[in-house]
Structure 1
Amino acid sequence: MSRWLKNVFFLCGKEFKSLFSDLTLLILIIYMFTVALVTVANLPTTEVKNASVGIVDHDHSALSYRLKDALLKPYFKKVEHISQEQIDDLMDNGNFTFIIDIPPNYQQDILAGHNPTVQILIDATAMTQASIGSSYITQIFTGEVNRFLKTTNSPTPIKTAVNVLYNPNYSSKWFMGAVQTVGNLNLLTMLLVGAAIIRERERGTIEHLLVMPVRSSEIAVAKVLANGLVLFVVAMLSLKFVVQGYLAIPITNSSIWLFGLGVIIFIFSIASLGILLAVFAPTMPQFGLLCLPVYMVMYMLSGTMSPLENMPQIAQYLTQFSPTTILGSYAKDVLFRGAGLNMVWDDLVKMAALGALFLGIALMQFKSMLSKQG
């Protein structure tokens, strides 16, 4: 056992030298966990933010003022009162995305049981914001009218109070900045470990390893440990200084270290899968063509880009066997909800079991490949 550990230690040193001598690969790693992560987190989203709203209030009632005050930041800017004569010029000049026209006697008609209409004029040149923003306004006004009628009539026996404990403004940057780390880690782990094996084969250095008194398990484990350690350090630094620092996403330090425990097991799982893919691909281009579809399927079905509940039933079942899906769920629980180890230990066990399965198959195939190579 001591000889096995000693061989793994020296082989890890060889892997570090090989990795740090590849400047292009180092730049890619740094880029993926800094510039690329910030870029994805700050991409334009379909959310409505700071939409400009004008209001023409012909009613001047408690209900009309209530509707105006319900349009709050950050979805909408401060609502401005305008006159009927200004509507055409302001819409033509693009001063407002939405102009709301509340008719006279609106509150009186609502209380009388009639169905008066509120006109919403929309600048459709901002197509996405106009479509979603009009839906926002409709929902907000419907809720306000219903609450107004309940307060003026008999009180309801059940009163609902919704409190958003995390991300109260529903900012996509908070979500994407954290979960993008999972996607980048998934891709780079497969690429680095798999590329390390392909590089040995293409450069002919694998023959040097075959004449040395080392086992196939020592070679494979060394590649997992060396490349995994580099990615773990970079990922944790990125989470601390880029996600928590630069993007100002509120993540506690205790959550970061608990997430780091999951990252270690995740890297072990994905690195084992990377070795398995590299065994089946004889050249680097073929490995890339094999690796990218596997990554895309794992990431797109992981629940980090879209909810698992929106997927077909068979996809929901199969994706539970993906380490990316498990880490995505683990990251949400630990980073967003502040879950402790007693609540997420089963995710760690699942990832470790999948990693052991991948590594077992990879070692068998890797040993077979080395024997053929020899």
Structure 2
Amino acid sequence: MMIWLINVLHLCVKELRCVLRDRTMMGAIVVSFTIAIYVVATGAKADVTNVSFGIIDHDQSGLSMRIRQAIRPPMFQEPVVLDQESAQQAMEEGRFLFIMEIPRNLEADIHGQRQATIGLTVDATAMAQGQLGVAYITEIVLRETLADFKVMGMDERLPTKAVIHVMFNPNTTTSWFTSVMQLINNVTVLSVVLVGAAVMRERERGTIEHLLVMPVRASEIAVAKIAANGVVILLAVAVSTLLVIKVVLQVPVEGSVLLFLAGTGLYLFSLTALGIMLATVTSSMPQFGLLSVPVFVIMYLLSGSATPAENMPMWLQHLMQLSPSTHYVKLAQGVLYRAAGVDIVWPQMLAVSGIGVAFLVIALMRFRLMLARQG
């Protein structure tokens, strides 16, 4: 066992030297965990921001004016007053994302407790903005209507009153979410690529024959590649979390960073084993890249980092439990956003470890076969 550990240590040093000398890969790591996270967090917004808005006001009442004045920057542009014909043409030309039509006698019908309907036309080609915008506009109309009731002394007649509490992100700041999810995405991509490229580099440069004549085992070579490349990514994640996310983007990290890094280490173990497994299936770097792309896409889109896992079909939710990214996203969100401890996230840590062991067993079997063919 001691000889095995010594051989792994020497091979780790060799792998670290190879990674650090690869300027292209090191540049990709630095950019991915600094500039890329900052640009995505500050540039890719899911919030409704500066959206064009048109309004057809048939009522011209105090309530309709309240609603018009409530629709203002930064979420919406100043409403442009339109008539029926120009509104239809403007929507077809894509000049407005929302057009609201306020009917005649709106204020009178509401004060008389009669049913009233406000029309809202949405350009759903901008799907995210359209969906969120409808929710915002509905809230604005309800809020201003209730405020008008209060002025008239009619609010006491309402049977219910909604009270909303927003937890963990009171202002629903997009960058708090996108920065951490982009970090997870970069970990997924680079950890697989880095260790897979290390294996493919040995094969393409012919240095794998040098390893075959040395007194080392396949398990020592594979574990060294997993450990060395995993340490590089783990250090990049630590720097990105403490510097870019906490300091630059000022995302409040509620939980233990050490616990998050421990979970990240388990995730890296799982992904680097997956990277070796994928590398043993292919014979060249282009093939490895083509095989890796669908793996990245599936793990990213269906892990819960892009869309909530609860929105997926039940059979797909069960199937994605076999992916380490699903459990890692839950762990990261629980620790960084909700200050979860080991007593809460241990199932995710255990699941990621178990999946990683399964990947490692398959990777070692495939790696031994690959070395045997090379020999």
Q: Is TM more than 0.5 here?
A: yes
**In structure 1, what residue type is equivalent to 2:278?**
L
**In structure 1, what residue type is equivalent to 2:289?**
G
**In structure 1, what residue type is equivalent to 2:260?**
F
DSSP 3-state at the match of 2:304: coil
Deviation at 1:267, TM superposition (A): 0.2
Aligned to 1:114: 114
Range that drifts further, 166-175 or 326-335 = 166-175
Deviation at 1:114, TM superposition (A): 3.1
Distance 1:171 1:131 in 2: 18
Aligned to 1:249: 251
Alignment of 1:185-204 (within 5 A): 185-204=187-206
Contact 2:146 2:155 in 1 (8 A): no
Aligned to 1:4: 4
Deviation at 1:353, TM superposition (A): 0.6
Q: Identity, % of aligned pairs?
A: 41
**In structure 2, what residue type is equivalent to 1:285?**
P
Q: 1:292 to 1:105 in 2, by over 3 A?
A: closer
DSSP 3-state at the match of 1:25: helix
Per-residue Cα deviation, 1:254-289 (whole angstroms, up to 9, x for no partner): 432221111000000001111111111121111111
Distance 2:162 2:135 in 1: 22
Per-residue Cα deviation, 1:144-178 (whole angstroms, up to 9, x for no partner): 5368669535353x544211122233232221111
Unaligned runs of 5+ in 1: none
Aligned to 2:24: 24
TM-score by length of structure 1 reads 0.83
Contact 2:42 2:175 in 1 (8 A): yes
Per-residue Cα deviation, 1:39-94 (whole angstroms, up to 9, x for no partner): 2223344531245779989433xx567646755775347x79x9999xx9xxx9xx
**In structure 1, what residue type is equivalent to 2:109?**
D
Q: 1:211 to 1:174 in 2, by over 3 A?
A: same
Contact 1:198 1:278 in 2 (8 A): yes
Q: CA RMSD in A?
A: 3.6
Deviation at 1:102, TM superposition (A): 6.6
DSSP 3-state at the match of 1:333: helix
Aligned to 1:13: 13
Distance 1:100 1:194 in 2: 54
**In structure 1, what residue type is equivalent to 2:42?**
N
Distance 2:293 2:330 in 1: 22
The number of residues matched between the two structures is: 364
Aligned to 1:175: 177
TM-score by length of structure 2 reads 0.83
Q: 1:154 aligns with which of 157, 164, 169?
A: 157
Aligned to 2:349: 348
Unaligned runs of 5+ in 2: 91-95
Distance 1:295 1:175 in 2: 20
Q: 1:70 to 1:362 in 2, by over 3 A?
A: same
Per-residue Cα deviation, 1:282-328 (whole angstroms, up to 9, x for no partner): 21111111111112112111111112222222221111110111111
Contact 2:266 2:349 in 1 (8 A): yes
Distance 1:346 1:112 in 2: 57
Contact 1:59 1:103 in 2 (8 A): no
Aligned to 2:37: 37
Distance 1:99 1:201 in 2: 61
Q: 1:204 to 1:129 in 2, by over 3 A?
A: closer
Contact 1:301 1:325 in 2 (8 A): yes
